[in-house]
Amino acid sequence: MPPVNDRKGRNEIARRRTPTTGSAALGVIMAVVCLDMMAVAIVLPVLPRLVGTLMPGDRARIALVFGWFGASWAIMQFFAAPLLGALSDRIGRRPVILWSCFGQAVDFAIMAMAPSVAWLFVGRILSGISSANIAVANAYVADITPPERRAAAFGLTGGAAALGFVLGPAVGGALGGIGLRLPFWCAAALAVLNAAVGLFVLREPARQSSTPPPPLSRRRLNPLAPLRLFARPGLTRPAIIYALGILAQQAIPAILVLYLENRFGWRPALIGAALAGAGVGFVVVAGGLVRPCVRRFGEAVTLRLGLIGGAAGFAMFAFAPHGHDIWFALPVIAIWALSLPSLQGIMARRIGAEDQGGLQGMLSSISSLAALIGPLLFTSIYAATISLSPAHPWAGGLALLLAGTLLLGALIPAFSIGDHRG
């Protein structure tokens, strides 16, 4: 038996204990990412109404509480992501991913039984901890994918995340018509199923570097520590683009449901259908168009096209005069799905194989900070402007317009990034 600190020996043991194929492993990872996104999306059509039943109040107050739900989830992501990323480098990707899948089942069960808003917060906080495995899942993809194919692989995981936005709102909206708590029980069952499949199918990937991982330390577990890669040559501008894009992304779970319900009077089933339609668009673009676009135009141009599409989609949401106009905005904002996998491919190419886990930890820390700031920012703007809606119907869309403006701002550093065709 090889020594414990022998990385190649550990990988060989993992391969013997869990026989599987690379495609099967990628499929399990995509399922994990999909379920993580469902953790956010499945509750969107019903959570505002559930909050309203547990804490009656006006629309502005419910909007602010809704924002704090997103912020509490992000705070836990912020602290948990570095720990899970460091643990995955040290003890392996597989055990961390499996632990988080089982944790999600507990989170959803708590929210399903929550007798008060406080207990909903408890469940959401635990969900933030267990859902921090997205960074580990992305590191797993980087481990099993050669550099020239990583943009396409990240496109597949992006498609899986988008699929979560298809299944989550669709299931949540449909089940929410039966009972507001039923979507949470469904999500808990799916989490258990995903963990069971991963237990028997997923194996520890063979790392592309023989360099041993750094030991766990206070500095490495510091949630701000992964941001040190901001200063790495070639990563600063892509990281800024990533931060602006993820911040803009928070407008969708934070206020789009409230916006559609309050401005157009949509019910949970219709809201779920609209979010599912957006998810379909993201699946098609991220899963089917990223690779041909990167081959034809390069990663940098594909990134810019995605940012422009996202900004245009947010503008169409904000200025839609009627509810049916929302459907025309969905395929436009779906173009945004070109940007993230292209950007991840650019960054993964500019860093060594031994730091892929650190890169994903940095991205997760950025995502957590954006997810902390975004819900509070967008819901505060929405709560402040919703009172103007009767006289100025467009006022409720100002927060969405801000999200589009952030994407336009991300174009400035995006135009300075060199191109690569892969």
| pLDDT tens, position by position, 2-42 | 444 444 444 443 443 333 445 667 777 887 788 777 766 78
Tokens found for residue 409: 């701002």
Q: Is the dihedral of CA 244, 246, 249, 254 positive or negative?
A: negative
d(CA 116, CA 53): 9
For the ranges 26-30, 370-374, 403-407, the lowest mean pLDDT is seen at 26-30
Yes or no: say if 137 and 161 are a contact pair by the CB < 8 Å rule. no
Give, as one character, the DSSP assignment of residue 251.
H
Ordered domains of the chain (ranges, CATH): 22-205+224-414 (1.20.1250.20)
Report, in angstroms and rounded to the nearest whole number, the Rg of the chain calculated over CA atoms. 21
Place of tokens 């499996």: 98
Please name which of 267, 264, 214 lies closest in space to residue 46, comparing C-alpha atoms: 267
For residue 392, the tally of other CB atoms under 10 A from its CB is 11
| pLDDT tens, position by position, 163-192 | 777 788 888 888 887 888 888 888 888 888
| pLDDT tens, position by position, 214-269 | 555 566 566 676 677 766 777 888 889 999 999 998 888 788 888 888 888 888 88
- Amino acid at the residue 347: M
Yes or no: say if 419 and 312 are a contact pair by the CB < 8 Å rule. no
d(CA 51, CA 227): 35
d(CA 30, CA 310): 23
Identify the pLDDT of residue 313: 94
| pLDDT tens, position by position, 41-94 | 787 788 877 877 887 767 777 888 888 887 887 788 777 777 777 777 777 778
CA quadruple 266, 268, 273, 275: dihedral, nearest 10: 90
